[in-house]
Amino acid sequence: MKFPVPQTLSKIAALIDCKFIGEPDFAVLGMNEIHVVEPGDIVFVDHPKYYSKALESAATIVLINKEVDCPEGKALLISDDPFRDFNKLTSHFKAFVPSESAISDTAVIGEGTIIQPNCFIGHNVRIGKNCIIHSNVSIYDDTIIGDNVTIHAGTVLGASAFYYKNRPEKYDQLISGGRVIIKNNVDIGALCTIDRGVTGDTTIGEGSKLDNQIQIGHDTLIGKKCLIASQTGIAGCVIVEDEVTIWGQVGVKSGITLGKGCQIMAQSGLSSSTLPDKTYFGYPATEAREKFKELAYIRKIPEIIKQVNSDKT
């Protein structure tokens, strides 16, 4: 997430009332999670396990809960609670603005696009040409939709990320300031939910087709020409490369990559990345041929036990 105008280190420190290490006029251009940071971004870290990763990342400003040596060319913001202060910055630069109408005056809707009754279209939404948005679709702020997109009834684009910090008294949610981007020629079925990025984008690639009742988590990237069947759940920060096919009731854990052209058979659970052009099945999912061999061996167990008992007698 880039700021509307560049900021300075001292201004950011004043906003969250914290100490800083670096030149007061050090440029601060935005804020992002560690997997999408760029020079000029703030990244936050609040656990020693991840200090090195944050300090060595592309981010040039690190919001951290301990005073450490500042890497050359970077700056530090020293906070007693980086998670809280990251939320403060999101709320400041991406404040929630209530809507006063079903379709915001700031939304831009392309020529030939049809919006059916009872839809909600938030602030700064952009919808391309020749789209069909069916009834009761909710499109949250800042969503970008390309041309020739069809979205069926009851789908929600841009809900908050499922991202929480476990505190002794409660769970604290990390405020979402990212977007959903739907590329050209995408079809999205009924009752799908696609969460916005925390600071970046959740993206559905050109020509991909989503069935009904699919969940796509925050900051996930779906490639071009993917097919995803009903009741699939994909967690946050997943990369689904081009031309992947995912059949019904598949679960995909966060932070993994599904290789180009692979197929995931129905009711599989993926806990690790896949290779391109392979077929996977089961839980935990492995290459389908190997999984089917395992199942064949398991079916033989009663026969083997029976034979062993027979040999004993």
Q: What is d(CA 183, CA 194) in angstroms, rounded to the nearest whole number? A: 14
Tell me which residue of 184, 216, 185 sits closest to 201, measured CA to CA.
216
CA 126 to chain CA mean position, Å: 20
What is the largest distance, in Å, between two alpha-carbon atoms of the chain? Answer: 87
Tell me whether strands 164-166 and 201-204 are parallel, antiparallel or unpaired: unpaired
111, with CB counted inside 10 A (0-12, 13-18, 19+), is: exposed
* CB distance 177 to 90 below 8 Å: yes
Tell me whether strands 269-270 and 187-188 are parallel, antiparallel or unpaired: unpaired
The residue type at 289: R
Task: Give the DSSP letter of residue 18.
Answer: -
Catalytic residue numbers? Answer: 218
Exposure string of 84-110, with b = 16+ CB inside 10 Å and e = fewer, is ebbbbbbeebbeeeeeeeeebeebebb
Q: What angle do CA 212, 213, 217 make, to 5 degrees?
A: 120
Residue 138's region, left for phi above 0, alpha for psi from -120 to 50, else beta, is beta
Helix (H) or strand (E) holding 307: helix 301-312
